[in-house]
Chain A
Amino acid sequence: MTQQHPPTPPSGEQPRRDDTTHFGFRSVDKDQKAGQVADVFHSVAGKYDLMNDMMSMGIHRLWKRFTIELSGVRPGQRVLDIAGGTGDLTMKFSDLVGPGGQVVLADINASMLQVGRSRLTDRGYAGNIEYVQADAEHLPFPDNSFNAVSIAFGLRNVTDKDQALRDMTRVLKPGGKLMVLEFSKPTNPLLSKAYDLYSFNALPLMGQLIAGDSASYQYLAESIRMHPDQDTLKGMMDAAGLVNCKYFNMTGGVVALHVGIKP
């Protein structure tokens, strides 16, 4: 049975213990969140692309296209695609860097990585792509390794976002670009209401009908509401040591692309 949450996050003004974090609207121990997020993605990995197309009505491809365009990635460069999932961005980056460059598709979730690897290989993408199961908070790469780092629809699932942003900055080369594509806060109140209605009613129902799992899509809607808004995330990127941080609202702020440069 689809659980119908009201589209309001808990008034989280009560002080949260330092060892807890959000998992959707719930508070969970920090060391449990990664496991619970992993369960969500193990459950949806097989139908992930289909669900993305259904939920966003295909618009997620345009959001990703704009991200690629702003990346400025050139032939011969090294790119890290964190939470790369089924490899939408990796595919485009692979074309851009060419045979002389390299793209690393990193995801914490083995199921997603497996789906991504199969999909890319089936489409003939091989040779300049490396697959790494990695946690965004503790990236297994040396400092100053990549010309560009992207994380698309992944940051909100990370337990310690500040730590993840710091580590992504660390692995960037000086002058390198970090791009965070993530759901955000709609700028129009009317759109916001319609979006809430859609997220908390249609998404879990679609999840149930297509992926056979409404709870994961209930989590998706809740985690979007708990994610920092545009200006907060920009402040977090500044604090992580990036400069020239700015964001681009897309589809009325439903999604925002944040970009920052490592000095």
Chain B
Amino acid sequence: MFPGPTLQAALTRVIEGALNQALELDPPGRTALLEVLARPVQFSITEPAPLTLTLTAVGEQVSVGGSPVEEPALELSGRPLAFAALALGDNSVFASGRLTVAGDTATAHQLQRTLEQLNPDWEGALAQHIGDIPAHFIGQRLRAAIRWSKSAFSVLNANVEEYIHEESRSLPGRRELEATFGDIDQLSLQVERLDARIERLSQQSGLPHPADLPPEHS
């Protein structure tokens, strides 16, 4: 358990406050998220210290709890890094088993869609404190920086992939792999057909299927 109920309550209070403030900036997103959280969704961090965070809709707010609930609609468990990877859009955390999901998969998909569509109006919130023009100036620069970093990341990714596949030939290329996998699928299909045919012929001739014969002793 997280060190002490008082600290746990302090942590959930801070998270709850920040989350609800962010959702204030995106009313349609908040409504969609509250619908998903009609039944509790639980995040269990397993290491370094076990910590549970439970999100539930209470009225017009999201309530964050630090204790496990009896019947969560959805439970995601894993290490903090796996949650961070998921937040950055890496869905492979599920296939690799770094994050485990238990519960209603429809809720999981709905939650993922809702989180992807959240778009808080940070500029509007900033404008309330520093004025429209400075907020718009900062907003533009920030958006440009985010666009540039996304594009740079994707270009870097493509370059590294190309180097590994095409230049160093350390790994087979995606198209080569796809062709190989296609051949394997085809072969598997043909073997199954052959097996079915032998089965049919065995039944017609009254002889046992070769696979059912006892192994020959030399």
Once the chains are docked, how many angstroms separate the CA of A63 from the CA of B10? 9
Stretch at the interface among A23-31, A65-73, A231-239: A65-73
- For A32-65 the 0/1 string (1 means CB < 8 A from B) is 0000000000000000000000000001011101
B70 — which chain A residues lie within 8 A by C-beta? 72
Are A251 and B59 neighbours in the complex by a CB distance under 8 Å? no
A69 — which chain B residues lie within 8 A by C-beta? 9, 12, 65-67
Are B9 and A65 neighbours in the complex by a CB distance under 8 Å? yes
- In the assembled complex, A228 has its CB within 8 A of some CB on chain B: no
Are B6 and A70 neighbours in the complex by a CB distance under 8 Å? no
B window 1-43: CB within 8 A of A: 4-6, 8-10, 12-13
The contact of A70 among B4, B58, B61, B67, by CB within 8 Å, is B67
B residues lining the A interface (CB < 8 Å): 4-6, 8-10, 12-13, 58-59, 61, 63, 65-67, 69-70
The secondary-structure label for the interface of chain B is mixed
Are A95 and B58 neighbours in the complex by a CB distance under 8 Å? yes
Q: Could you tell me the distance in whole angstroms from the C-beta of A165 to the nearest C-beta in chain B?
A: 22
Are B59 and A66 neighbours in the complex by a CB distance under 8 Å? no
Are B66 and A98 neighbours in the complex by a CB distance under 8 Å? no
Are A62 and B13 neighbours in the complex by a CB distance under 8 Å? yes
Q: List 6 A-B contacts (CB under 8 A).
A: A69-B12, A70-B67, A72-B70, A250-B6, A251-B6, A257-B5
Once the chains are docked, how many angstroms separate the CA of A248 from the CA of B1? 12
How many inter-chain residue pairs (CB < 8 Å) link A and B?
A: 39
Are A59 and B59 neighbours in the complex by a CB distance under 8 Å? no
- For A61-101 the 0/1 string (1 means CB < 8 A from B) is 11101100110100000000000000000000001101000
Are A95 and B4 neighbours in the complex by a CB distance under 8 Å? no
Q: Could you tell me the distance in whole angstroms from the C-beta of A130 to the nearest C-beta in chain B?
A: 19
Are B59 and A62 neighbours in the complex by a CB distance under 8 Å? no
The contact of B59 among A63, A72, A95, by CB within 8 Å, is A95
Q: Could you tell me the distance in whole angstroms from the C-beta of A89 to the nearest C-beta in chain B?
A: 14
Once the chains are docked, how many angstroms separate the CA of A70 from the CA of B8? 12
Are B66 and A62 neighbours in the complex by a CB distance under 8 Å? no
Are B69 and A250 neighbours in the complex by a CB distance under 8 Å? no
Once the chains are docked, how many angstroms separate the CA of A138 from the CA of B10? 36
Are A65 and B12 neighbours in the complex by a CB distance under 8 Å? yes
Q: Could you tell me the distance in whole angstroms from the C-beta of A60 to the nearest C-beta in chain B?
A: 10
Are A63 and B6 neighbours in the complex by a CB distance under 8 Å? yes
Are A66 and B58 neighbours in the complex by a CB distance under 8 Å? no
Q: Could you tell me the distance in whole angstroms from the C-beta of B150 to the nearest C-beta in chain A?
A: 38
Q: Apart from A66-B9, A69-B65, what are 6 other A-B pairs with CB-CB below 8 Å?
A: A63-B6, A66-B66, A72-B69, A72-B70, A250-B6, A257-B5
